[in-house]
Homo-oligomer: A and B are copies of this chain.
């Protein structure tokens, strides 16, 4: 196989792929996304369930929002977050499956 025969990835593609996996590479975000894949949650609920500070959760949600991986709806003072990217959840669940069954 010669060098010319490679199918190279566009650097834009590489950056996007990297971005997806970076999100999924942090234990906290894994927990948040997995939780949200099961049910819509408000911020304090996430913080309590995952035993994290409100601030830490909010910072992570901010990131997930910017990347369009979660969305939210408001109900009074409360924001309910939920998943907004089925494909990323699919990647996550596959990895979980793989990790659990070794």
Which residues from chain A sit less than 8 Å from chain B, CB to CB?
A: 1, 3, 6-7, 9-10, 13-18, 20-22, 24-27, 30-31, 34-35, 38-39, 48-49, 87, 90-92, 94-96, 98-100
Contact = CB atoms under 8 A, between A and B. Distances in A.
Contacts of A95: 17, 20-21, 91
Interface residues of chain A: helix, strand, loop or mixed (majority): helix
A100 B13 contact: yes
Given A21-B24, A26-B18, A27-B14, A7 B38 contact: yes
Instruction: State the oligomeric state as a number of copies.
Output: 2
A90 B98 CA distance: 11
Given A22-B25, A26-B18, A30-B18, A96 B13 contact: yes
23 contacts: A1-B39, A3-B48, A6-B35, A6-B39, A7-B38, A9-B31, A17-B24, A17-B96, A17-B99, A18-B24, A18-B30, A20-B95, A20-B98, A20-B99, A21-B21, A21-B22, A21-B24, A21-B95, A25-B25, A87-B94, A87-B98, A90-B94, A94-B94
